[in-house]
Amino acid sequence: DAEITQSPRHKITETGRQVTLACHQTWNHNNMFWYRQDLGHGLRLIHYSYGVQDTNKGEVSDGYSVSRSNTEDLPLTLESAASSQTSVYFCASSDGLAGLYEQYFGPGTRLTVT
């Protein structure tokens, strides 16, 4: 069965370190997204991609970067982790255009920055 996976599921890191969160989907979806979930804010969009070599900034992109070298993967990098980036991170993917298709979410990565 097709799926979307994230790794690691839990990560503790120190302030200032670079961290990369992996996202891999086997749906063959063109669209991929990274969100962070914080209490009182719901899910907020960090970066998104509509295809290979395409990346775009979302609502809360400062301090994060992504790259899309193939259809299946969209890794999220925290260049220099900050305590404000302690959060639960969700990757999602969808097919098609214009909100016509729902997004499928990964299981999430809980990141703690100490």
Q: Does 55 bind another protein (CB under 8 A)?
A: no
Q: Select the span of 13-21, 34-42, 60-68, 73-81 touching another protein (CB under 8 A).
A: 34-42
Closest CA to 4 of 103, 110, 112: 103
* Whole-Å CA distances, 74 to 16, 39, 64, 91, 112: 22, 25, 12, 8, 21
Binding window for another protein (CB under 8 A); candidates: 15-23, 41-49, 70-78, 79-87:
41-49
DSSP-assigned letter for residue 102: P
Cα 3 from Cα 53, distance rounded (Å): 22
Number of residues that bind another protein (CB under 8 A): 28
| Site for another protein, rule CB under 8 A | 31, 33, 35, 40-45, 48, 50, 58, 88, 90, 92, 94, 96-105, 107-108
